[in-house]
Amino acid sequence: MSTEGLSLHHITVRFGGLLALDDVSLRVPPGRVVGIIGPNGAGKTTLFNVISGFVAPEKGSMTLDGKPFRARPHQLTGHGIARTLQGVGQFDGMTVLDNVQVGPRSEAEAWAALERCGVAEHARNFPKALPYAKRKRVELARALAARPRILMLDEPAGGLDTDEIRWLADLIRETECTVLLVEHHMELVMSVCDEILVLDFGKPIALGTPGEIRSNEKVAEAYLGAAA
Amino acid sequence: MTALQDRAGTKATDRTKAKKISPWLVVVAGAIIVVALTYTLPPFRTYQLATVGAYLCVTAGLTVLTGLNGQLSLGHGALMATGAYTLALWQNKFNLLPVGILVAVLVTTAVGAVIGLAAARLRGPYLAGLTLAVAVVVPSITSTFDETFNSDQGLSVMLNPPPESMTNEQWQAWLCWGGALVTVLVLALLTRGRFGRDMKAVRDDETAARLAGISVARTQVAAFVVSAACAGLAGALFAVIAQSVSPGAFPLTLSLFLLMAIVIGGLGRLSGALIGAVLLVALPAVAHEIGEAAGSQRLEGNLALTFFGVVLVVVMLAAPGGLASLRVPFTKSIPFKKKGH
């Protein structure tokens, strides 16, 4: 197994006159949990979209295990990367089992992922019949069923209660995957991440351990304003 | 129950596959019923039965495309015309029906692949517009190349007489329902597996489908190709039934009728496609009888479309999922046996 992981080099994305990402570099070593935080509009999801192949960067490059990497979204799972979306991103016309089995996954992989996420008993239900938290678990199960090396979670705690967030934190800690986490829930981010990248208006303003980020003045300023 | 308790205490889940009727069983039962009907119905009704079989080929393909994959096609009448003209040209040159039907399906599949490639780049009204243009353009090609297609007069189809042991209507019904049952079987097997899941995923959420590892464009083109092949088969069977083809047999209203029929029957359900195929034969026949009784040919021409419109409105109000979504009341009274864990 390579020790290189995923690396982003000087990624710049511009939407017309808006600089969405400005020279962002990040190394995600295997087995680590790396958080990406920042105020709304900081460019967190855009960075996920670059890695996922939804957005082509104006400048910069990516490498996976030391090799140049640029996948189209449907090729992502083939590279061992799975991503969840903000919200629930579900297929309402299919049962929970089919939702998780969709794409190149076997039924056994789907069942294993459903059990790991605690929603196996809802396998024959339709997602719309489930509460929001269960639907988030189903989406997570679909990502895990792909047996990814790198798991990209885009605001997985959005809309969840304390118990569900605790469950999510346990899952992230226990998983063997490398995890890239975009999240607004600071308690979750600080408790599970090994390293955190902070973006503000597309620019990386800090990179470090949770302790370093907590005491970083630039980060406090970005979140609370200049007066902080 | 908290999330943690939930996770720790996940119940042993019944992993036995949900019981579904085997498509093979349905096809065998369908074949027996059709054969029985061809020996009991009068010749005209047997002819109508054959027409239902031919329509079932196209409605089954269209309901998979529109209902399962979410692609709206207003051009399936034109794809039927492609299959019908291909068969007519083949028969008039070689008079070898089984190969002719195969060639008609292949040619229509190729045309469907070209349209499908364009369709995969379009959404909603733009896709409807493209397929509508196909429905308008294809019949007019017969006028442009009238030496080949004989313009509005159309072509007659050379056919060998049916075997002596059966009537022409019986032979037509067997042929059309043979095609229909093969179509239904293939579509049922296709849609129950990964292809079916991929199509539904693309219909429900393209972004999530991509992230699940599905090539949206490839799935959409494949769905269009499969559906076009079904339309080509239907067109070829219609050419056999009518023993002639002309642009007037494949007007724009045919494409609209097909779409309305699958919506009334139940989008995305093969049983709905069967109901739609029956309606495509029954409603114009009723309109014809009313028109004749009223002594007005103009009334007869417009009445079928009116019937479809009224039935569509009524069914959408009473059963938004189409007639196939309705359940027979007595099935609710059957006690549900719970499996022990």
CA–CA distance, B210 with A54 (Å, rounded to integer): 10
Nearest to B280 by CA among B258, B296, B297, B310: B258
Interface predicted TM-score (ipTM) of this complex, two decimals: 0.91
Residue B172 lies in a domain: yes
Residue B146's pLDDT is what?
Answer: 87
Q: Report which residue type is found at B267.
A: L
Q: How many CA atoms lie within 13 A of B226 on its CB side?
A: 29
Place of tokens 């329902």: B177
A77 neighbors A148 (Cβ within 8 angstroms)? yes
pLDDT of residue A223 exceeding 70, the answer is yes
CA–CA distance, A36 with B175 (Å, rounded to integer): 63
Where is A68: in which H helix or E strand? strand A67-68
| Shortest alpha-carbon distance between residue B196 and chain A (Å) | 9
Residue of chain B nearest A83, judged by CA positions: B211
> Residue B11 has what DSSP assignment?
P
Residue A87's pLDDT is what?
Answer: 83
Q: Is A169 on the interface with B (CB under 8 A)?
A: no
Token pair in block for residue A60: 């910069």
When CB atoms are compared, the residue of A77, A93, A170 closest to B203 is A93
Residue A92's pLDDT is what?
Answer: 94
Percent of chain A surpassing pLDDT 90: 90
| Shortest alpha-carbon distance between residue A214 and chain B (Å) | 28
Contact A115 B13 (CB under 8 A): yes
Interface residue of A74, A100, A180 to substitute, partner B, most B CBs within 10 Å: A74
Contact A74 B214 (CB under 8 A): yes
Region B200-213: mean pLDDT is 96
Interface residue of B211, B214, B269 to substitute, partner A, most A CBs within 10 Å: B211
Listed as own residue / partner, the contacts of B19-27 with beta carbons closer than 8 Å and 24 or more positions apart are: B20/B192, B23/B184, B23/B185, B23/B188, B23/B189, B23/B192, B24/B185, B26/B184, B26/B185, B26/B188, B27/B181, B27/B184, B27/B185
Residue B276 lies in a domain: no
DSSP bridge partners of A207: A197
B194 neighbors B68 (Cβ within 8 angstroms)? no
Q: Which structural domain range is residue A50 located in?
A: 6-80+148-224
| Shortest alpha-carbon distance between residue B119 and chain A (Å) | 19
Contact A94 B197 (CB under 8 A): yes
Residue A24 lies in a domain: yes
Token pair in block for residue B335: 């006690």
Contact A89 B4 (CB under 8 A): no
Q: For B283-316, what is each residue's pLDDT tens digit?
A: 999 888 888 888 766 666 678 888 888 999 999 9
Residue B10 lies in a domain: no
pLDDT of residue B16 exceeding 80, the answer is no
Nearest to B250 by CA among B144, B101, B115, B137: B137
Nearest to B59 by CA among B198, B227, B189, B192: B227
Total count of domains within chain A: 1
Contact B10 A83 (CB under 8 A): no
3-state secondary structure of A202: coil
Residue B336 lies in a domain: no
A33-37 and A178-182 beta bridge pairing: parallel
Helix B97-119 crosses helix B124-144 at what angle (to 10 degrees)? 140
| Shortest alpha-carbon distance between residue A10 and chain B (Å) | 24
Contact B10 A115 (CB under 8 A): yes
Q: Which structural domain range is residue B96 located in?
A: 22-158+167-251
Token pair in block for residue B3: 């999330």
pLDDT of residue B333 exceeding 50, the answer is no
Q: Is A126 on the interface with B (CB under 8 A)?
A: no
Sort out which chain B residues have CB atoms less than 8 A from A76's CB and list them: 211, 213
Q: For A74-123, what is each residue's pLDDT tens digit?
A: 999 999 999 999 988 899 999 999 999 998 889 999 999 999 999 999 99
Helix B194-204 crosses helix B168-192 at what angle (to 10 degrees)? 70
Please measure the distance between the N-terminal and C-terminal CA atoms of chain B and give it in whole angstroms: 20
Residue B303's pLDDT is what?
Answer: 83
Residue of chain B nearest A141, judged by CA positions: B212
Q: Which of residues 66-105 of A touch B (CB under 8 A)?
A: 72-78, 82-85, 89-94, 98, 101-105
Residue B305 lies in a domain: no
pLDDT of residue B85 exceeding 70, the answer is yes
Residue B127 lies in a domain: yes
The separation between CA B140 and the C-alpha centre of its own chain, rounded to angstroms, equals 23
> Lowest-pLDDT range, A221-225, B93-97, B200-204?
A221-225
CA–CA distance, A114 with A123 (Å, rounded to integer): 8
Contact B4 A98 (CB under 8 A): no
What's the burial of B160, exposed, middle or buried (CB within 10 Å: 0-12/13-18/19+)?
A: exposed
Residue A213 lies in a domain: yes
Region B116-130: mean pLDDT is 88
Sort out which chain B residues have CB atoms less than 8 A from A52's CB and list them: 211
Contact B212 A102 (CB under 8 A): yes
Residue B261's pLDDT is what?
Answer: 96
Q: Report which residue type is found at A90.
A: Q
CA angle A85, A198, A221 (to 5 degrees): 125
pLDDT of residue B328 exceeding 70, the answer is no
pLDDT of residue B8 exceeding 60, the answer is no
pLDDT of residue B75 exceeding 80, the answer is yes
A210 neighbors A193 (Cβ within 8 angstroms)? yes
Q: For A8-53, what is each residue's pLDDT tens digit?
A: 999 999 999 999 999 999 999 999 999 999 999 999 999 999 999 9
Sort out which chain B residues have CB atoms less than 8 A from A102's CB and list them: 197-198, 201, 209, 212, 214
Q: How confident is the model at residue B84 (pLDDT cuts 50, 70, 90)?
A: very high
Sheet holding A59-64, edge to edge: A18-28, A6-15, A59-64, A67-68
Residue A107 lies in a domain: no
Sheet holding A178-182, edge to edge: A81-83, A150-154, A178-182, A33-37, A195-200, A203-208
Dihedral sign, CA of A104, A107, A113, A118? positive
| CATH code: domain of residue A71 | 3.40.50.300
Sort out which chain A residues have CB atoms less than 8 A from B18's CB and list them: 124
Residue A101 lies in a domain: no
| Shortest alpha-carbon distance between residue A58 and chain B (Å) | 22
pLDDT of residue B330 exceeding 60, the answer is no
Which positions ≥6 away from A105 have C-beta within 8 Å? A145, A146, B213
Q: Is B337 on the interface with A (CB under 8 A)?
A: no
Burial readout B32-56 (b: 16 or more C-beta within 10 A, e: otherwise): eebeeebeebeeeebbbbbbbbbbb
CA–CA distance, B277 with B183 (Å, rounded to integer): 13
Residue A59 lies in a domain: yes
CA–CA distance, B33 with B24 (Å, rounded to integer): 14
Residue A131 lies in a domain: no
| Shortest alpha-carbon distance between residue A206 and chain B (Å) | 29
Q: For B52-70, what is each residue's pLDDT tens digit?
A: 999 999 999 999 999 999 9
3-state secondary structure of A37: strand
Contact A98 B11 (CB under 8 A): no
Q: List % helix, strand, coil for chain A (3-state, nearest 5).
A: 35, 25, 35
| Shortest alpha-carbon distance between residue A134 and chain B (Å) | 10
Residue B320 lies in a domain: no
Total count of domains within chain B: 1
B84 neighbors B231 (Cβ within 8 angstroms)? no
Residue A3's pLDDT is what?
Answer: 53
Region B313-341: mean pLDDT is 70
**Mean of the per-residue pLDDT values of chain A:** 93
pTM across the whole model: 0.88
Contact B210 A74 (CB under 8 A): yes
Q: Report which residue type is found at A125.
A: N
| Shortest alpha-carbon distance between residue B288 and chain A (Å) | 39
